[in-house]
Structure formats: structure tokens, C-alpha cells
Structure 1
Amino acid sequence: MDEVEVVVAHSERATLRVGDVFLKVDVDQARIDVEVEAMALAPVPTPEVLWRRPPVLAIAALPGATLGRLGGPSTGSPAEWAAAGAAIRKLHDAPLPERVGGAGRSIVALAAELDDECESLVANGVLPAGLVARNRQVAEAALRPWTPVFTHGDLQIAHVFVDGGEVTGIIDWSEAGQGDALYDLATFTLGHEERLDDVLAGYGTEVDLEVIRAWWSVRSLLVVRWLTEHGFDPFAPGCEVDVLRSRM
């Protein structure tokens, strides 16, 4: 091994890569507990857990590569995006875990959180009032009853690996639990709307596109301030603020 690669690092957690091993350091052991349990239950490929010594979890690297990143070009063939959609559907069809995940917050709680965040974004001059108001309007479609499924809860494009047209693994399960299926689909296609049809072709069932668009707005509104405060740039081209602007 030639070096230690910092994959992501902020005040809550950090992930390092050393050769073919990822080391996840998290001060909140509950998140690691959720991750390990979810990977054991999920009916899709997940990384091998090598060892665990709090606050560190060691997992094996996955073969293949992701289909792109938020703010960058998407890669992979339509068939690979469809394979990702099929894997997501397999997860959603699995028996429900006991835990309610991040994508399973109650409608009342989610609406309150969203309203508080919108008020803060405007009051602190983070985003223009008109942009926030328009996306809060779009977001309303997500605030409806849903049938809980087994969700990943943070299914960013960078968390799904493919190789040879097949999904080789899905990582970062700390938000997994019961939740809304369309939240996972929206998170995976955030910033890559042009790939949604390919994902849905693999997912294999009709979905409410208005709700997926609403979740794009919800997720972006809720994370802009957090990302800014933790050293990330949601204003970079193709990232969360551009997603919000696309709804105007």
C-alpha cells in the first residue's frame, strides 16, 4: 500500500482507504450498528465486514466503479443504470427491517423540519427567497402517505458500484430502515435526471414522477446548509443548488 486516501472527512465521521480496505471512523456507534445490521439483512451485494473495533469499522473494497458523482458527468451504459434500478427494486421488495430509517420520518416531522430549514436558508441569506419558496412548493408532493419498504436511506450515486453490467455492491447503510421507496430512487438520480428512465426500466414498475421531483427538492433544501457548514460545496455546478434552480 502506497498511501492513505481520505475518501470523506468531517466533524461527525471519516472514511479512509488503505489499499483494498476502507476504514470508517464514526463517534456515533449507533450509526455503525445500523450499517452492519442493514448490510446483513439487505438482499443485494454489500461490502464484506472485515473487523470492527469501535470507533472503527473495516470493510473490503468493492470491485468496479460508481456510475458517476454529483456535480460530474454520469458514466455507464443504460443497461448498467437499469441494473442499479433492478437492485434497488430487490431491496424494496425485501422484508421490512425493524428500524425506521432516515427516509421514514413521519409526514408531520418532515414538514416541520423542511419549514424550519427553509426559514433558516432565507433568514441567513444562504438562498434567495423565491428559489426556496418555489422548491418548498414542489416539495409538497412528497409529503403524502407511503407504504414503507426496506430503504437504503442515503442512496447517493457514489454509493452504488457496478462492473460488467452488474451491481457489485452498495455501501454506506447508516440511514437504512423502513422508508419511502421513491426517496431512494430520487436520491440515486439527484443531479442526473437524464438517467431516471434507465433506472426505472430496471426498477420495473411505474412510479409517480412528481413525487420523485419533490424528493429532489426536499433532499436539496435539507442538505445545503449542512454541506456548507461541513466543508462541501452545494453551489458547485450540477450539485444541490443547481438541482433547486432546475425547478424554477
Structure 2
Amino acid sequence: MDEVHVVVAHSERATLRVGDVFLKVDADQARIDVEVRAMSLAPVPTPEVLWRKPPVLAIAAVPGTTLGRLGGPSTGSPAAWAAAGDAIRKLHDAPLPPGVGRAGRGVGGLAAELDAECALLVANGLLPAELVTRNRQVAEAALRPWTPVFTHGDLQSAHVFVEGEEVTGIIDWSEAGRGDALYDLATFTLGHEEHLDDVLVGYGGAVYREVIRAWWSVRSLLAVRWLIEHGFDPFLPGCEVDVLRSRM
């Protein structure tokens, strides 16, 4: 019998792997609705939906290996990272999906959320004030109008699978919707800045790198407290706090 492997688990959702099947358990069925709809619309390889019985979604494993994970070594050749950039471009060029995902929050609301989170990080002694202040300054470049595109919304490098120089699957679409293209690019390269040039070669076109760097600060600032409260450690080497420190 195949063993049950816990991929991720916290109070909001859990993902288990049994053989070649992933079981996603989510108390919020709206997230599962978004995921299933996004996978059906995205013009890139996505997992096959095997069955759905709330609160569980069963999907097939995709072939290949991930390009990396935050806090871990990056894998894949520069050409593989470029291929991922090309796949991301295809997604962003696709017709807009319904709904607004994580990457599509309004500028005013995002700024207010970020300011409140920065205040809590300092007040609770989680991060030094100087570190928070500097990254809040860097983050300002992301707080500008953008043209909405079809975004994945949580495009971590661990969510992109490749074989050789071909993208074989992109997983975890529960945050998909209309949003800022540079948010996806920033999420994908978070903690793997050395591959940004490779990704942009595949992505093509003019891209404002300072906005990508700003999104690195935004995502990290907003993640630290949530990660701690849910049993994860953003202080591990190469993770969110190191990303923030690299902006100093």
C-alpha cells in the first residue's frame, strides 16, 4: 500500500499525497471552486482533476520535478527557468478569468494592509523596526496601477514542474484570478533572485525589475506573522526574513 505523505497542513487547508494522487482538503469551498475553474481555463499544463467530493479535491500528480522551493536550492538549468518564464507569459496573455485573486487587490487596500502588518511586526517584536521600515520603502514601488492579467496568484517555484527544458505542470491554483503580472513573476523568483534573468528571457518584453523587487518585500512582510502563527519558520536560511534582509 502507498504511504500517505503530508505535503502541507495548517488550520485552513491540508494537502496529502497517496501514490500518484493528491488529496486537497479545504474548509473554504470557494478556494476549491477557483482552483478547478482556473485549471480549466489556463493555457498551460495543469493537473487532471480526478474527482471532487467537498471538502476534498483529488488531482493527479504531474510528471517532472519542481524548479526549487523557498529556503532550498534551486534546480533546473537556465533554459528550464526560461521555459517557465515562457509558460508564465502564455498565462498572462490569456483571456481574463472571472474574479479577482490575491494578486489583484486594489492599491489602496493593499497599502493599508501592508501598513497595518508592518506596525504589528514591530509592535510584537517579530522584526526590527529598521528592517521593516526599509522594506516598506522598497515595497512602495509595487503600489501603483497595473493592467490586470490572468494570474496564478501563488506561483511559488515549488508549484512549477519541469522535465528537462519543458514545463510539465503548474499546481495549486486556489489564488488565481485577475491581478498584477509582476506579482506572479516576483512570487516565482522569491528567494531565487539568481534566476530572475533566466525567467525574464523566457517571459520576454519590458519588465520593471524594481517592481518585482518591491513585490518580494510586500509578499515577505505580509507572510512573516502568518507563517509563525501557523507553525512555519520564516527565519530559516533563504526564507522570507532573509529576503527582507537582502533589501538592506
With the length of structure 2 as denominator, give the TM-score of the two structures. 0.99
Identity over aligned pairs, percent: 86
Matches of 2:12 and 2:96 in 1, distance apart? 28
Superposed counterparts of 1:4-19, under 5 Å:
4-19=4-19
Matches of 1:38 and 1:68 in 2, distance apart? 23
CA-CA distance at 1:2 after TM superposition: 2.7
Deviations along 1:145-171, one digit per CA (max 9) or x if unpaired, are 000000000000110000121000100
Deviations along 1:96-144, one digit per CA (max 9) or x if unpaired, are 0121111000000000000000000000000000000000000000000
1:202 aligns with 2:202: yes
User: Which runs of at least 4 in structure 1 moved beyond 2 Å after TM superposition?
Assistant: none
Is residue 69–residue 158 contact of structure 2 (8 Å, CA) maintained in 1?
Answer: yes
Letter matched to residue 84 of structure 1: A
Superposed counterparts of 1:1-248, under 5 Å:
1-248=1-248
With the length of structure 1 as denominator, give the TM-score of the two structures. 0.99
Letter matched to residue 98 of structure 1: P
RMSD: 0.5
Matches of 1:67 and 1:164 in 2, distance apart? 11
Deviations along 1:46-100, one digit per CA (max 9) or x if unpaired, are 0000000000000000100001111011110000000000000000000001211
Letter matched to residue 80 of structure 2: E
Matches of 2:98 and 2:52 in 1, distance apart? 23
Is residue 76–residue 164 contact of structure 2 (8 Å, CA) maintained in 1?
Answer: no
Matches of 1:147 and 1:68 in 2, distance apart? 29
Matches of 2:103 and 2:164 in 1, distance apart? 30
Matches of 1:100 and 1:68 in 2, distance apart? 27
More displaced stretch, 1-10 vs 145-154: 1-10
Is residue 88–residue 203 contact of structure 2 (8 Å, CA) maintained in 1?
Answer: yes
Is residue 25–residue 55 contact of structure 2 (8 Å, CA) maintained in 1?
Answer: yes
Deviations along 1:154-197, one digit per CA (max 9) or x if unpaired, are 00011000012100010000100000000000000000000000
CA-CA distance at 1:199 after TM superposition: 0.2
Letter matched to residue 98 of structure 2: E
Matches of 1:10 and 1:153 in 2, distance apart? 19
Unaligned regions of 5+ residues in structure 1, if any? none
Matches of 2:2 and 2:172 in 1, distance apart? 25
Matches of 1:122 and 1:242 in 2, distance apart? 17
Letter matched to residue 21 of structure 1: V
Q: How many residues align?
A: 248
Matches of 2:176 and 2:134 in 1, distance apart? 29
Unaligned regions of 5+ residues in structure 2, if any? none
Letter matched to residue 219 of structure 2: R
* Secondary structure class of the residue paired with 1:16: strand
